[in-house]
Amino acid sequence: MPVIVMASPKGGVGKSTCAVLLASEFARMGAEVTVLDCDPNKSLTRWATHGMPDGITLPSDVGRAEVVPTIKAADGDGRIVVVDLEGVASQLVSRAISQADLVIVPMQATALDAEIGSEALALVREEEEALGRDIPHAVVLTKTSAAVRSRVQRDLENQLEEAGIDVIRPPLVARAAFSELFAYGGDLTAMMNNPDIVTGGKVDKALANATSFTEAVYERLK
């Protein structure tokens, strides 16, 4: 089963959000998923403490020495593996990328994010050279406006595609429900159906966005 790795040297771009959305949506579709929290911020671990959807496991204490064996064990059991990486170039990051069937680089639609995000793309290319094989990778734009596709966003998408970089569509819109997952745990469906959960956003719109994003990722894994 596929190994999906979230990579970006910049914090706050949505790596953990992408990981949680993919894991929870794949689980909702009936897949067995293992998520690895390799980010020192431990956002996925905090999400899991509030409760994870059925079908998801989160091993503890996965460091540099454990990341490859843990990925291979979960992959061998037929599980989808989603890895949330730390935001620095390290042996752990290189080892995780070396096992990836798809590397996703979340990026906000700003010039700074594009510049810093290119470092993650360069790291993927370095691993490709070292391994002598292609590692499929793609950029997803995050925290975009639900109302309008900005000129900066259009220009960045065009620049990436002209450079031969795969851009996942749809982008992930800035939705309060995405960040609230880390406060409530579970998934967006449970959040939408639980009357005791008061959210600051339109959960149905967030769920539609997450579902479309997951389907776009799945298409790249076929």
Residue-wise pLDDT for 70-99, tens only, equals: 999 998 888 999 999 988 778 999 999 999
Q: Which amino acid is at 25?
A: E
Residue range 124-145: mean pLDDT, rounded: 96
Exposure string over 121-132, b if 16+ CB within 10 A, otherwise e: bebbeebeeeee
Number of structural domains in the chain = 1
CATH of the domain at 194: 3.40.50.300
**Per-residue pLDDT for 216 more than 70?**
yes
**Contact criterion met (CB below 8 Å) for 27 and 53:** yes
> With bands split at pLDDT 50, 70 and 90, how would you rate the model's confidence at 53?
very high
Which range marks the domain in which residue 135 is found? 3-221
Instruction: Supply the DSSP symbol for 18.
Output: H
> With bands split at pLDDT 50, 70 and 90, how would you rate the model's confidence at 200?
low
Cα 164 to the center of its chain, rounded Å: 21
Calpha distance 156→151 (Å, rounded): 8
Residue-wise pLDDT for 5-39, tens only, equals: 999 988 889 999 999 999 999 999 999 999 999 99
Cα 23 to the center of its chain, rounded Å: 9
User: Regarding beta strands 33-38 and 56-57, do their DSSP bridges make them parallel or antiparallel, or are they unpaired?
Assistant: parallel
The per-residue pLDDT for 64 is: 87
